[in-house]
Structure 1
Amino acid sequence: GLTMRRPGYNLYALGPAGIGKHFVFDRYLKRQAAAEPAPKDWCYVFNFAEPQKPRALGLPAGRGGELRREMEELTAELRPALRVAFEREDYQNRRRAIDSEFEGREESTLGKLGEQAREKGLVVMRTPLGMICAPARADEVLSPEELDKLPAGEQERIRRDIETVGKELEDLLAQVPRWQRERKEKIRELNREVTSFAAGALLDDVRKSFADQEAVVRYLEEVEQDILDNAPEIVGGEDEDDGEAILGQYRVNLLVDNRETRDAPVIEEDNPTWQNLLGRVEHIQEMGTLITDFTLIKPGALHRANGGYLVLDARKVLLQPFAWEGLKRGLQAGHLKIESPGQALGLVSTVSLEPEVIPLAVKVVLVGERLLYYLLAALDPEFPELFKVAVDFEEDLDRGEESQRLYARLVAQMIRQEGLKPFDSGAVARVLEHGSRMAGDALKLSLHSRELLDLLREADHWSGRESPVVTADDVARAIDAQIHRLDRARERLQEEVRRGTILLDTEGAVAGQVNGLSVLQLGTFSFGHPGRITARVRLGEGEVMDIEREAELSGPIHSKGVLILTGFLGERYAFDQPLSLAASLVFEQSYAGVEGDSASLAELCALLSAISGIPLDQGTAVTGSV
């Protein structure tokens, strides 16, 4: 499964907690990753065409950090370089020449118009309301009273002349905005020329470093164009904060930095929330408002593991809101889209950043219980398509000479990794014996590495500081201490037996009565506890009554076991004629439910003893199914 690079061949590791699934996969994944190259660096940069949609740049491992550093240097040097360029004397002279050209054009045209007006006894002058044309005598403007005293013909002539000169003045004023636009355009061209000279050298250094990266070259062309368009704003005034927002657009948000990575990454996410898996867009508060930009885009575990392996705990993923759906969406789409759960579900309609998607090539390893795997396979139709490889961990190992040597090597490896004292041969043998006890089978060895490691640590502790090695006695003390911490319930039950509260015979022989052995599981601690099973027979029609079932204290498996006993009695003793007796079975002093068929052998012994009258030894407890 690790080398299969087809879609959907992700892995699910099945097995109980503490069996070493994480440890095993960590070793295998790192071994596999060492043979694979380091993945790309990923950066987000400003999108000058659509500012709300930052662009993603993929670069060879380590090159993303170089681009960020060089762009930081460019932004730091750009403003001083532009200020020097705009303060140079040749720029100032060319700027004044442009201003003088257009000011002279305007003054020359106004002067000619003024001469024409004076020839007609008029004057052109500036007022707060703009340029106007008025009658004058000896360059003195006539007042309305003086104008009214003139002959009617003279007034009519003046009116016609004012209209003529006023029309020419309007035509002149209509050309002023066009001249201003021409002036601004020439100044803009001058600024672009000077900016290109000043910023070009800075950008050329970056271009040379990334000449082999076409996407970066295109991005730098857009940066250059934006600098040419916004150079005056970048220079700003005396305040250093002027133009800072524009300079911030030229920075690089290094999302994933694989500079220190020599092979494919192996990432284990302990808190697989939506944001921790798929990334997020952060916000900062400014003047009571939350704002964001492309530099506040943060990566998730899928970004960091892209091109490698991601290990997740299945239960933790399923417990986090929307995390499972987000993980499946990314794996199905084959790319990563950074958005909030509200945006993904259509619950939020506010305008926010929409970062460009990043291609996803990752192998996900889910680690979890078998029950979760079977539930997901049965209830989630997308699960089998996305996790095609099941890795089922064995819980125990056959106990033979070779396996015992391997088990001893495993113990030695754990001791070295934990920095514990050496275990002598007796201690290792005692650990092997306890491994069989944990497996519940003399022919098996338990592979529950967490419990085994706990035992090794505690045995090392009990050996004391002065002892150079751990002995079998130290291992036994550690086992006894583990039992002592958990056996309060067992001690209370044994106390009740000793006090006679729980009736239990351990001597003599009694017909129709046997001690059954129940196994109680309390957390990680299990122990056996005897309980009296009694059978009574009488004349009847061959029925066996299970008092536990009649009292609704019996589970279905236990009831099935009693019915099997009934069938056995009928086949053995009533093959050709009805059985003329009735029997009853009961667990004495049982006040909770009874489940399982492991008491069926003891119940059969009690029944046969009651039928035959042969007493049973009360010093023996019986367990096992029929």
Structure 2
Amino acid sequence: MPDHREEHDRSTGPVPEALAPEALAPDALFHACDTALLKFDSTDELEDLERVIGQERALEALSFGIGMPHEGYNLYVLGSTGLGKRTLVNRLLSEESARMPVPNDWCYINDFDSPHRPRALRLPAGVGQALRRDMQQVMEDIIGALAAALQSEAYRSQAQEIHDEFKEREEQAFAELREKAEQQHVAMLRTPGGYTLAPVHDGEILDADEFAKLPEDDQKAIEAAVEALKRDLKQLISQIPLWQREMRERHKELNLSVSSLTVDQHLGELRTKYGELPAVQAFIDALRKDILENADQIRSLGEEEGAGPNPAGQAARQLNRYKVNVLVDHAHTEGAPVVYEDNPTYQNLVGRVEHTVQFGTLVTDFSLIKSGALIRANGGYLILDAEKVLSHPFAWQALKRALRAREVRIESLEAMLSLASTTTLEPEPIPLDLKVVLVGDRLLYYLLQEYDPEFSRLFKVAADFSEDIRRDGDTTVLYARLIAMQQRAGGLRPLSRDAVARIIEQAARTVSDGERLSLHMGGLDDLLREADYWAGQAQASRVEAVHVEQAVAAGIRRASRIRERVHEEIVRGIQLVDLDGEQVGQVNGLSVISLGEFSFGRPSRITATARLGEGEVVDIEREVELGGAIHSKGVLILGSYLAWRFSMNQPLSLAASLTFEQSYGPVEGDSASVAELCALLSVLADAPIRQSLAVTGSVNQHGQVQAIGGVNEKIEGFFDVCAAHGLTGRQGVIIPASNKPHLMLRRDVVEAVREGRFHVYAVSHVDQAAGLLTGLSAGEPDAAGQWPPDGLNGRVQERLAALARLRQAYSRPNDGDHRTL
């Protein structure tokens, strides 16, 4: 077969130097901080950072989003928890908002024509509360003034004059009718039931008998006079309600005149004070009209409540119609507002309409409208936690609707959902002009991009925070200044140079990369505080490296109960993992268990079996649905590798099975594929594997070993089990060579390697790993593609050839029977 490894020597001798595994020196296992770069004795000597390090890309995005005035350029700040995203966003927004004008106040006032539709009132900053106080004082003054004016002597005199005038008109009309009746010998008498007419002769009222004795002509004349007088009396009586109505109108005109004079007298100062605000003038006009229309009621309310200037109870509720409901007051605001809403429910975001109980019924008015975060941040910036917004019902839709319409419409959630039948309002929408900054993780950002078509139109700027920064001389010095700045900000003890170096090393350990430093400010602050605590316990004046080490160890100790229990089960033999000797088809793989923020490595036994088959490599974890997609992919690659390397000119007549022994949960990832391939090669070559070694690494179809995650935890996990069992000097771990930059192992592991009691090997090809595990050289193929028979690959090739011949033999016709086996 053609040689696919042209870079290797074609000889059949030992493994070339290029393929020899590398036993890593102790210095390669831990990327120590060069203290020569730290030219100080204590952090007291260092200045604060003038800029944020490592977040240049995010800063550019934030500056662009903050400065972009056009619609839709709201921001989504993405990154994991603890990066200091919100702190930095708050700082930048505070700096920018200080240069911006103070936004307007917003109030709601009553619409006297449509009380269920309150009107929004925009006022200059600080004017809202002043108007509210002035309006409250004016109403108190008007209530007292109206009561006083309508009880004054002048008012009573004018009212009495009107009453007397109409009384005199009535009496005069009756007197004239009485005089006319007397002229016609008829008396007009007043009775409890009204008026009656009776004949008169010689000044005496005649009864029926006496009237009958009069001459007939006289009777007829008197009867005709009575009938005419009756008509006049009826007409007079019908005129009385008209006179009374006229009197009431005159009284009303008098009341209006007195009330207008009183009200205008008190509103005049208000008009002068707010003369440059047309909206306030229009409100005063509407308020004046309503007060005059209800002057008697207002006066009576004041009298019912004790004629005092502070009406309460029912009177106060009825007088709410004249209040000013201040939603947002910027009297003491400097620059634009920066609002963070920690609990972005629908009502906290948009606002709400509250209700009160009145005679067992829920009622409301415009004075019970409360503002939400959108209105409080109007004219400035609103910061929200993306996950919290999405977790509250209706909040995300309400936020998008407000940003889309550029207005806030306060609606009762109960009424919107038809959950309650109560008095409700339809407040006038408030125009919206603000920037919304969502803070969340990356997964949420990309999910919203994928599944919410409106998201990308409303949040066009993504500020992606870096998780780490390249570690070099310059960044090491800057990181030391960052440590000093955080130490002073937290009011902690100063740190020595060695303590700073140890924190820098831990920052590299945090990101599992010796050539990078973590930018998680939350983790850095926690470490500084905990190290300061241990320095305090030791009564030290400053934090030393030993205190940082104590803080790191104590944190691991608090979280490591399960790790110790898992390792104990291996040492006790409950979980079967051999740490010495040799076995065919059995290898120690390494996995990482993550429990929150704490991760640890765990050795696991991986076994393989092989037999005659049709080229299938069975992943038992996948068959029982415990294997994840990535792990299953890794196993499928093994079959491709075997076919490519050993069966180019013959069918792969193999049936193999691979499994993690004593695995009772999901298995995911391809970091065990090198170990699984070595176990499979061991079975095929009948070559025992050293159990004193553990293997981690991913393999591709060409046998190259690829980097994996959690390399430090995996090495330390196997080391801890070996140390508990007893280090023999033969134990060690095989890792991908590409993981060497990531090594930041514990000091006890490094010391064990230094003393030769433990080993760490780096390999770049599966041949190297298999050679270490079996002690057999991989060998080199000849021009015909044949491997040396005494090498590992030669034995594998011969075994696969034997299986192919066996399969061919079974498939031949037998005694006329053409069935194949």
With structure 1 as the length reference, what TM-score do the two structures score? 0.92
Q: Residue 45 of structure 1: which of 109, 112, 116 is its match?
A: 109
- My pick for the range that moved more, 393-402 or 30-39, is 393-402
Aligned letter for 1:593?
A: P
CA contact (8 A) 1:44 1:253 kept: yes
Q: Partners in 1 of 2:439 and 2:535 — Cα distance?
A: 35
Q: Partners in 1 of 2:362 and 2:159 — Cα distance?
A: 42
Change (3 A) 1:128 1:26: farther
Change (3 A) 1:329 1:151: farther
User: What's the counterpart of residue 260 of structure 1?
Assistant: 332
Residue 139 (structure 1) shift: 7.5
Q: Partners in 1 of 2:546 and 2:212 — Cα distance?
A: 133
Aligned letter for 1:102?
A: F
Change (3 A) 1:287 1:134: farther
Residue 142 (structure 1) shift: 5.7
CA contact (8 A) 1:123 1:139 kept: no
Q: Residue 425 of structure 1: which of 482, 486, 497 is its match?
A: 497
Aligned letter for 2:488?
A: R
Residue 25 (structure 1) shift: 1.6
1:296 equivalent to 2:368? Answer: yes
Q: Partners in 1 of 2:407 and 2:192 — Cα distance?
A: 64
Secondary structure of 2:335's aligned partner: coil
1:201 equivalent to 2:274? Answer: no
Secondary structure of 1:365's aligned partner: strand
1:496 equivalent to 2:560? Answer: no
Q: Partners in 2 of 1:181 and 1:225 — Cα distance?
A: 23
Residue 88 (structure 1) shift: 3.9
Residue 62 (structure 1) shift: 0.5
Q: Partners in 1 of 2:253 and 2:89 — Cα distance?
A: 63
1:610 equivalent to 2:667? Answer: no
Structure 2 gaps of 5+ residues are 1-64, 700-821
User: What's the counterpart of residue 227 of structure 2?
Assistant: 163
1:373 equivalent to 2:445? Answer: yes
Aligned letter for 2:280?
A: V
- My pick for the range that moved more, 612-621 or 350-359, is 612-621
Q: Deviations over 1:488-509 (max 9, x none)?
A: 1111111111111122222344
Change (3 A) 1:189 1:498: same
Q: Deviations over 1:534-575 (max 9, x none)?
A: 233445554433333344432222121111111111111112
Q: Partners in 2 of 1:233 and 1:73 — Cα distance?
A: 19
Aligned letter for 2:650?
A: Q
- My pick for the range that moved more, 356-365 or 86-95, is 86-95
CA contact (8 A) 1:322 1:341 kept: no
CA contact (8 A) 2:363 2:423 kept: no
- My pick for the range that moved more, 217-226 or 502-511, is 502-511
User: What's the counterpart of residue 728 of structure 2?
Assistant: none
Q: Partners in 1 of 2:366 and 2:642 — Cα distance?
A: 81
1:313 equivalent to 2:313? Answer: no
Aligned 1:168-187 pairs, distance under 5 A: 168-187=232-251
Q: Residue 285 of structure 2: which of 221, 224, 238 is its match?
A: 221
Change (3 A) 1:502 1:218: same
Aligned letter for 2:256?
A: R
1:240 equivalent to 2:302? Answer: no
Aligned letter for 1:453?
A: D
Q: Residue 479 of structure 1: which of 552, 576, 580 is its match?
A: 552
Residue 599 (structure 1) shift: 0.5
1:516 equivalent to 2:589? Answer: yes
User: What's the counterpart of residue 416 of structure 2?
Assistant: 344
Secondary structure of 1:585's aligned partner: strand
Q: Partners in 2 of 1:520 and 1:573 — Cα distance?
A: 36
Name the count of aligned residue pairs.
Answer: 626
Residue 529 (structure 1) shift: 0.6
Secondary structure of 1:463's aligned partner: helix
Aligned 1:434-473 pairs, distance under 5 A: 434-464=506-536, 466-473=539-546
User: What's the counterpart of residue 274 of structure 1?
Assistant: 346
User: What's the counterpart of residue 112 of structure 1?
Assistant: 176
Aligned letter for 2:578?
A: D
User: What's the counterpart of residue 705 of structure 2?
Assistant: none
Aligned letter for 1:195?
A: S
Q: Partners in 1 of 2:475 and 2:194 — Cα distance?
A: 105
Change (3 A) 1:251 1:133: farther
Larger RCO (alpha carbons 8 Å, 6+ apart): 2
Q: Partners in 1 of 2:184 and 2:444 — Cα distance?
A: 102
Residue 524 (structure 1) shift: 1.5
- My pick for the range that moved more, 423-432 or 574-583, is 574-583
Cα RMSD, aligned residues only: 2.6
CA contact (8 A) 1:428 1:472 kept: yes
Q: Partners in 1 of 2:638 and 2:572 — Cα distance?
A: 34
Residue 159 (structure 1) shift: 4.3
- My pick for the range that moved more, 395-404 or 145-154, is 145-154
Q: Partners in 2 of 1:7 and 1:330 — Cα distance?
A: 12
CA contact (8 A) 2:412 2:424 kept: no
1:93 equivalent to 2:157? Answer: yes
Structure 1 gaps of 5+ residues are none
Residue 208 (structure 1) shift: 1.7
Residue 61 (structure 1) shift: 0.6
Q: Partners in 1 of 2:117 and 2:654 — Cα distance?
A: 87
Change (3 A) 1:239 1:440: same
CA contact (8 A) 2:117 2:426 kept: yes
Residue 247 (structure 1) shift: 4.2
Q: Deviations over 1:23-62 (max 9, x none)?
A: 2221222122112111111112222222222222111110
Q: Partners in 1 of 2:227 and 2:362 — Cα distance?
A: 59
Secondary structure of 2:644's aligned partner: helix
Secondary structure of 2:466's aligned partner: coil
- My pick for the range that moved more, 300-309 or 409-418, is 409-418
Q: Partners in 1 of 2:204 and 2:399 — Cα distance?
A: 87
Residue 63 (structure 1) shift: 0.8
Residue 526 (structure 1) shift: 0.8
User: What's the counterpart of residue 425 of structure 2?
Assistant: 353
Secondary structure of 1:441's aligned partner: coil
Aligned letter for 2:304?
A: D
- My pick for the range that moved more, 270-279 or 350-359, is 350-359
Q: Residue 103 of structure 1: which of 142, 167, 170 is its match?
A: 167
CA contact (8 A) 1:280 1:300 kept: yes
Q: Partners in 2 of 1:452 and 1:499 — Cα distance?
A: 38
Change (3 A) 1:406 1:126: farther
Change (3 A) 1:513 1:179: same
Residue 582 (structure 1) shift: 4.4
Change (3 A) 1:351 1:163: farther
User: What's the counterpart of residue 73 of structure 1?
Assistant: 137
Change (3 A) 1:406 1:133: farther
Change (3 A) 1:604 1:185: same
Aligned letter for 2:265?
A: A
1:566 equivalent to 2:566? Answer: no
